[in-house]
């Protein structure tokens, strides 16, 4: 059942892959800037869960040791591949079943992805699993999909420490930076 809904999401993003950057780049970069004010990626392994076309890659590639992007949409991943530098990798994977060992990353980001997942708390725990203890996770919740209280509860109930929580008028997501 969960996989059926994920397949629908995958299909929807495949269909809109060509127009994604033109439509969302500006908005997404606002989120990246806010998240990166609170997460230092210097010299660490960075995970971008639901990386889409890789818009975030340019923001971290120069500083991070390694950047890995995962996404279910093959069409968006093809676009992401064009942005890949030598310290980067992209792969097709489900955010609920990340093909990495525990604590493989020292920083994780997931921008505008959780609204697509049937059990966002489960997804959050999976991102936590692959992120080292005490390391930072920046996650956003689309305002159209989550009430502010619901998204706040989601991050609070994750068992992680909330370092910052933004609800900024000109950004269409809440942004939470958590300590894994």
**What DSSP designation does 40 have?**
-
In the bound complex, what is the minimum distance in angstroms from residue 150's beta carbon to ligand SAM?
18
Binding string, 86-125, against ligand SAM, x = CB under 6 A?
--------xx---------------xxx--xx--------
Beta carbon of residue 28, minimum distance to ligand SAM (angstroms, whole number) = 4
Residue 92 is encoded by which pair of tokens? 């097709």
- What part of residues 15-54 is at the interface with ligand SAM (CB under 6 A)? 24, 28, 50-52
Q: Which stretch binds ligand SAM (CB under 6 A): 71-79, 82-90, 128-136, 145-153?
A: 71-79
Nearer to ligand SAM among residue 111 and residue 158 (C-beta): 111
Size of the site for ligand SAM (CB under 6 A): 22
The strand pairing partners of 88, in sequence order, are 67
Q: How far is the CB of 146 from ligand SAM (least distance, A)?
A: 14
Residue nearest ligand SAM, Cβ-based: 52
Tell me how far, at minimum, the Cβ of 48 lies from ligand SAM, in Å. 7
DSSP alpha helix (H) spans, the chain: 2-15, 17-36, 57-60, 74-81, 120-129, 148-156
Q: Is 174 in the site for ligand SAM (CB under 6 A)?
A: no
Residues 144/114, Cβ–Cβ less than 8 Å: no
How far apart CA 141 and CA 84 sit, in angstroms, is 26
Two tokens, residue 82: 């064009």
Q: Which of 151, 139, 144 is nearest to 50 (CA)?
A: 139
Contact predicate 165/141, CB 8 Å: no
What does the CA dihedral 28, 122, 96, 145 come to, rounded to 10 degrees? -40
73 binding ligand SAM? (CB under 6 A) = yes
Q: Which residues contact ligand SAM (rule: CB under 6 A)?
A: 6, 9, 13, 24, 28, 50-52, 55-56, 70-73, 76, 94-95, 111-113, 116-117
């Amino acid at each position: 059942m969960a996989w059926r809904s994920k397949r629908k999401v995958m299909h929807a993003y495949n269909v809109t892959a060509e127009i994604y950057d033109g439509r969302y780049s500006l908005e997404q970069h606002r989120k990246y800037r806010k998240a990166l004010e609170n997460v230092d990626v210097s010299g660490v392994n960075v995970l971008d869960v639901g990386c889409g076309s890789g818009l975030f890659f340019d923001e971290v590639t120069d500083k991070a040791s390694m950047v890995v992007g995962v996404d279910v949409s093959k069409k968006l991943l093809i676009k992401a591949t064009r942005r890949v530098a030598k310290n980067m990798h992209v792969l097709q994977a489900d955010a609920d079943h990340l093909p990495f060992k525990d604590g493989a990353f020292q920083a994780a980001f997931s921008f505008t992805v959780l609204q697509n997942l049937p059990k966002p708390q489960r997804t959050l725990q999976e991102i936590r699993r692959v992120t080292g203890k005490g390391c930072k996770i920046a996650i956003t919740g689309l305002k159209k999909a989550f009430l502010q209280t619901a998204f706040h509860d989601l991050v609070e109930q994750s068992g992680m420490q909330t370092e910052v929580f933004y609800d900024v008028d000109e950004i269409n997501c809440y942004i939470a930076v958590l300590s894994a």
